[in-house]
Amino acid sequence: MSLRIVVCVKYVPDATGDRHFADDLTLDRDDVDGLLSELDEYAVEQALQIAGEADDAEITVLTVGPEDAKDALRKALSMGADKAVHVEDDALHGTDVLGTSLVLAKAIEKTGYDLVICGMASTDGTMGVLPAILAERLGVPQVTLLSEVSVGGGQVKGRRDGDTASELLEASLPAVVSVTDQSGEARYPSFKGIMAAKKKPVQSFDLEDLDIEPGDVGLAGAWTAVDGATQRPARTAGTVVKDEGEGGKQLAAFLAERKFI
């Protein structure tokens, strides 16, 4: 029986670009390039490895986002995913994490799955809560923040490295997994992979396809509200001195003056 893997990915603004807010206090996407969230590349990589170990597996890569978000799907397809699902709807603009998780859960159920794999967090919002919410919404085990993962015999196993302890986890499929950047370096797409990706199917859903009321998502349906955003004032230029042999001493004097020693 085929192992159906769905990888959730996010199209995020390039962190090296100049990110700022639009008038409605959502991210201004016009001024900054987007790309597949780096942390999601690890999720795609683990999906490919798990599929490689399985007798028969199919990897669907899923994203919610505007037209440009297809770039993130293309990248994942060129790495080796089999097909893609893109949820796009004008009413989604400004959706928060609870709304996004609702859309993803509906799309995952529609696609069919045995295993959902996510990155540990997006590189823009960096909340790191979406995998847990997906597990809650789908009603399946969460096996999250794994630095090592394996699937076999209808089970997923993995290692979770926490602040105080390292834990070995085990759950039955279907399940939601998230992987950290320690799970294994993500592969670069080959030229062959990039060419093949152009022919792979990308299915599109809108909210109606997923039976979601527009009022449950988007800025109006958001469960949180941003009341204001201010640019952090540039740090006032500090003192920078060249070490002429006394740098350590000068620094100690500075720290003493600030009462750190």
Restricted to residues 4-23, the positions that interact with other proteins (CB under 8 A) are: 15-16, 19-21
Which tokens go with 113? 């799955």
Q: Where are the alpha helices (DSSP H) in 11-94?
A: 38-53, 70-79
Of positions 88, 181, 206, 209, contacts other proteins by CB under 8 A: 181
Out of 52, 165, 192, 199, name the contact with other proteins by CB under 8 A: 165
Answer yes or no whether residue 249 interacts with other proteins by CB under 8 A. yes
39-58 residues near other proteins, rule: CB under 8 A: 39
User: Does 129 contact other proteins by CB under 8 A?
Assistant: yes
> Is 214 an interacting residue with respect to other proteins (CB under 8 A)?
no
Tokens 């590349």 — which residue? 41
Amino acid at 235: R
**Residue of the chain from 3, 47, 145, 149 that contacts other proteins (CB under 8 A):** 145
Computed over its alpha carbons, how large is the radius of gyration of the chain? 22
The binder of other proteins chosen from 40, 89, 96, 114 (CB under 8 A): 96
CB of 20 to other proteins, least distance (A): 7
Report the C-alpha gap between 137 and 107 in whole angstroms: 12
Q: Which conformational region is residue 18 in: left (phi greater than 0), alpha (psi within -120 to 50 degrees), or beta?
A: beta
**Contact present, 222 and 94 (Cβ < 8 Å):** yes
Q: Does 182 bind other proteins (CB under 8 A)?
A: yes
Does 251 contact other proteins by CB under 8 A?
yes
Structure token pair of residue 251: 């620094």
- Residue range at the interface with other proteins (CB under 8 A); choices 69-77, 81-89, 121-129, 188-196: 121-129
Return d(Cα 14, Cα 23) in angstroms, integer. 20
Q: Does 250 bind other proteins (CB under 8 A)?
A: yes
Exposed, middle or buried by CB within 10 Å (0-12, 13-18, 19+), for 90? exposed
Check residue 128 for interaction with other proteins (CB under 8 A).
yes
Instruction: Between 194 and 254, name the residue whose CB sits nearer to other proteins.
Output: 254
Please select the residue that binds other proteins; options are 72, 101, 108, 207, rule is CB under 8 A.
101
Residue 219 parent element (H or E): helix 218-221
Closer to other proteins at the Cβ: 131 or 189? Answer: 131
